Chains A and B, each alone.
Chain A
Amino acid sequence: MSNARKAGSDLELMEHADGELDDASAGDRFARHPDARAKLESLKQVSELVRGHLELSADAVHDAKFAAMWRRIDDQLEAPPVRQASGLWARVAAWFDHYRGHVITGAVSAGAVAALALVLRPSAPDGGIAGPRGGAIDVRPAALRATPEIDLLDTPGESSTVINLDDEDGHTTVIWMTPADTVEGI
């Protein structure tokens, strides 16, 4: 067994270095053994290094962060006394102040639900083939639909005829194009 072992275990040395060892005679006992003294000295140096590092880290924190911390502490410690609300609007405002967290949670939830509803909203009920995002227009009953209107018709080199057909499914506009040379040949 080494001298250090006789003087005490590493655990005892660490407890002594931290001032947590109850044995009053331990200091003298460790001082008599060179190994134990060396270990204690090393422990002190390591402790100094760690402490110095932590203090430097704390110094590196920006003053603004401490200022913000103090502001929060001030807010919490010196909250204004609860005022007796007078008037309907003041009561409503006080209620929102009191339940701010609930209101914000509700608002966020409502926003999420609204976003989902907008994304997942089905297209107009028409029984037809729906587009990938659903139509943005209303499909009216066939009987209420207006006749299609041709705003522009250009058929270069073709003879064109426009035919409007109506049936129970609605209107159909047929734009019939015949090559001009065919028409001329007839």
Chain B
Amino acid sequence: MSLRVSAPEASTRRANRRPGRGAALAAFLVTVLAGVALATPARADVATSCEFLEIAAKQGDKPAIDAELKPIEKKLKKQPFSTWNQFKLLSHSQKSLAKKKPEAVGLKLGSATATLVEIVDKSKVRLTVTMDDARGKQVTNNTTTVEAGDYVIFVHEVAGNEGHLLSLTCR
């Protein structure tokens, strides 16, 4: 066992010794990057949160709109929805959509998928929505560019002069 280091080797080690300046500068850069990360809103995680409301609509004796439909109640009282006066919430789901990743939307009647195609101008989403009816037949395949906070409402007329609605809005 030898713990001795020859003089030339020791001097070589001294010559190769790092001054530590690089580490300090690296630390400074990390600090700056951390500051930039704090100051810049993160948009790398391209995703949007969309709310889906599945609604059954029909004409009845008395008007009735489920309390959960409050956000779109005003719209439902106007044309063209005034064909019906009773609106019942069938399902409500909130989905976080990642870019180009189809997300299944659970429906009571049939099924639906939603895909975020892209985010446009930081305030709009381009979405592809497909809807199948209860028999599995596709009723729509739609791509729409819509502003965050605005609504797209799919209305499918079904037997008995009733309506099957799917409302969506993204933020």
Chain A residues at the B interface, C-beta cutoff of 8 Å: 55, 58-59, 66-67, 70-71, 74-75, 78, 93, 96-97, 100, 103-104, 106-108, 110-111, 113-114, 117-118, 121, 123-124, 126, 128-140, 142, 145-146, 148-158, 160, 163, 165, 167, 169-179, 182
Contact = CB atoms under 8 A, between A and B. Distances in A.
Contacts of A75: 17
Which 8 pairs, one residue from A and one from B, show the smallest C-beta to C-beta distance?
A131-B49, A96-B24, A110-B34, A145-B147, A152-B143, A135-B171, A107-B30, A114-B34
B31 A110 contact: yes
B171 A177 contact: no
B150 A136 contact: no
Given A114-B34, A173-B144, A173-B146, A133 B45 contact: yes
Interface of B: 1, 3, 5, 10, 13-14, 17, 19-21, 23-25, 27-28, 30-31, 34-35, 37-38, 41-43, 45-51, 71-72, 74-75, 78, 80-81, 94, 96, 119, 122-126, 128, 137-157, 169-171
B135 to A, nearest CB: 11
Contact of A107 (B34, B81, B139, B148): B34
B66 to A, nearest CB: 16
Contacts of A126: 148-149, 171
Determine which residue in A71, A113, A137, A158 has the highest number of CB atoms from chain B within 10 A of its CB, and name it: A137
16 contacts: A55-B1, A74-B17, A100-B23, A110-B38, A114-B37, A126-B149, A132-B94, A135-B47, A136-B48, A136-B119, A145-B123, A156-B137, A156-B141, A176-B155, A176-B157, A177-B140
B42 A118 contact: yes
Contacts of B50: 131
Given A106-B31, A128-B149, A93 B24 contact: yes
A54 to B, nearest CB: 11
Determine which residue in B5, B74, B141, B150 has the highest number of CB atoms from chain A within 10 A of its CB, and name it: B150
A118 B37 contact: yes
Contact of B153 (A118, A128, A130, A172): A172
